[in-house]
Amino acid sequence: MVALVIGLALFFDFTNGFHDTANAMATPIATGAIKPKTAVTLAAVLNLVGAFLSTEVAKTVSGGIIREGSDGVQITPDIIFAGLMGAILWNMITWLKGLPSSSSHALFGGLIGAAIAGIGFNSVNLETLLQKVILPAVFAPLIAGLVAYLCTRLAYALTSRHDPDTGSKLTQKRGGFRTGQIFTSSLVALAHGTNDAQKTMGIITLVLISAGTQAPGSGPQFWVITACAVAIAVGTYAGGWRIIRTMGSGLTEVKPAQGFAAETSTASAILASSHLGFALSTTQVASGSVIGSGMGRKGTTVRWNMVGKIALGWLFTLPAAGIVGALTALLVKTGVVGVVIAAVAGTAAVLFMFVYSRQSSVGHHNAVEVEEAGQTVRFAKKKALARARAKAHRQKDAATADQHKDAATADQQEDAQR
């Protein structure tokens, strides 16, 4: 049973990785800062590094929501097995729908459902639940969105340049933000590694402790850290292209300066929250940032019905994963046969969703076709602009005022593109 749970936990880590690639890499892919394949490789490596950097989060994971220890109930590997099952299935469903939803909430939901079904309603600490899950879920997108909004406004205000005499726009070189995006998105990937890989480490440690193979209160063992780091890195490399599409082009059109602002806010929010003791969900922070930065740029529209879909997904995360967790817990309670049935049913469901996803494949080649189309248009315009300028040079006798006007409108077009 312990081995089964550890295997399942590592698979959860894998789904977590590929579910959350989008958080770090959707915006740089969408602006063309990094090529899709390179982006997922970079994210995978940084997740691996991040997982080793800090194990502080692992020690506190899921602690308190289910009353554990001597005065509470004993959490068993069975409950964890059921909880993980709920979390994995919900992760797969949201991935299939292309919805960015919090993997940690799915995990909490699954565990809570399993604990209620397996032990009883009093096993759940409602106050901790409110404090650790529900409040952060409300504030994470708000904080991140607000900060990203302000940063986007700032970035655009600081780089906007007008000729003091004529009032026409000058070159702004906002493409320079693309280079910055490589670093900020790397930071998000690193933050994800320090944050999310820890959750699985915490779970496996919890299983080992409850099975009596590890002393209570001790940190994760080295092989656990390594296994989790590798699992999340492989998951990240596999890439959840469906969610990358949603985050990169489904919510709002992302331009380099905007992507830079969004990523900076995401990275700061995640790193600040996980180290100041108020854990926020990576996915919710990242989605909030993208929406906020979309509101901060003039002339962009945020696709609110997509935002609504995502919000609805967040609302359902906890109960849906909880129900699957509870059902699995009931099955597991019946004995070995129940465990086998649950394992087989879970594997079958995951396989079915994988096969179903093949019908409309979304991969690195077509995840963000929208922006690629936009880029070719811009390149064409730049070429046209250069041609127009060369022409103007040749016809030196042409009225200079006309030429100014030409360049100004072309520049304006270029700005509108950004």
Partner 1 sequence: MKWLELLTVAGTTLVSAVTVVVLYSLGVRLTAIAGDAEQASPRAKRYFAYTCFGLCGLAVLFGLYLIIPYFSK
- Phi then psi for residue 124, to 5 deg, are -100, 130
Residue with smaller CB distance to partner 1, 56 or 369:
56
Residue with smaller CB distance to partner 1, 372 or 406:
406
CB of 173 to partner 1, least distance (A): 4
CB of 294 to partner 1, least distance (A): 16
Q: At which residue do the structure tokens 């940084």 appear?
A: 46
CB of 199 to partner 1, least distance (A): 18
In the beta sheet, which residues pair with residue 169? 162
| Dihedral over Cα of 279, 282, 286, 288: its sign | negative
Please report, as a single letter, which amino acid is at residue 62.
S
CB of 39 to partner 1, least distance (A): 19
CB of 96 to partner 1, least distance (A): 32
Residue with smaller CB distance to partner 1, 176 or 216:
176
CB of 221 to partner 1, least distance (A): 17
Residue 275, exposed/middle/buried by CB under 10 A (0-12, 13-18, 19+)?
middle
Residue with smaller CB distance to partner 1, 176 or 308:
176
Residue with smaller CB distance to partner 1, 147 or 251:
147
Please report, as a single letter, which amino acid is at residue 331.
L
Asked whether 56 and 202 are in contact (CB, 8 A), the reply is no
Residue with smaller CB distance to partner 1, 4 or 146:
146
Residue with smaller CB distance to partner 1, 49 or 96:
49
CA-CA distance, 82 to 322, in Å (whole number)? 9
CB of 127 to partner 1, least distance (A): 9
Tokens matching residue 256: 């380099």
Tokens matching residue 363: 């991969």
Cα-Cα-Cα-Cα torsion 137, 226, 187, 198, nearest 10 degrees, comes to: 20
Length of the chain measured in residues: 418
CB of 292 to partner 1, least distance (A): 11
Residue with smaller CB distance to partner 1, 77 or 288:
288
CA-CA distance, 317 to 261, in Å (whole number)? 28
CB of 185 to partner 1, least distance (A): 12
CA-CA distance, 274 to 281, in Å (whole number)? 9
Q: Interior CA angle at 395 toward 393 and 397, to 5°?
A: 110
CB of 272 to partner 1, least distance (A): 4
Residue with smaller CB distance to partner 1, 271 or 330:
271
Residue with smaller CB distance to partner 1, 159 or 357:
159
CA-CA distance, 353 to 161, in Å (whole number)? 51
Residue with smaller CB distance to partner 1, 280 or 339:
280
Rg over CA atoms, the chain = 24
**Which residues contact partner 1 by CB under 8 A?**
53-54, 56, 131, 135, 139, 143-144, 146-148, 150-151, 154-155, 158-159, 161, 170-174, 176-177, 180, 183-184, 187, 194, 257, 260-261, 264-265, 267-269, 271-273, 275-278, 280
DSSP string, 111-134: HHHHHHHHT-GGGB-HHHHIIIII
Please report, as a single letter, which amino acid is at residue 270.
I
Q: Is 297 left (phi over 0), alpha (psi -120 to 50) or beta?
A: beta
Nearest to 415 by CA among 238, 178, 210, 256: 256
CA-CA distance, 205 to 201, in Å (whole number)? 6
Query: DSSP state, 141?
Result: H
Nearest to 23 by CA among 240, 273, 339, 203: 240
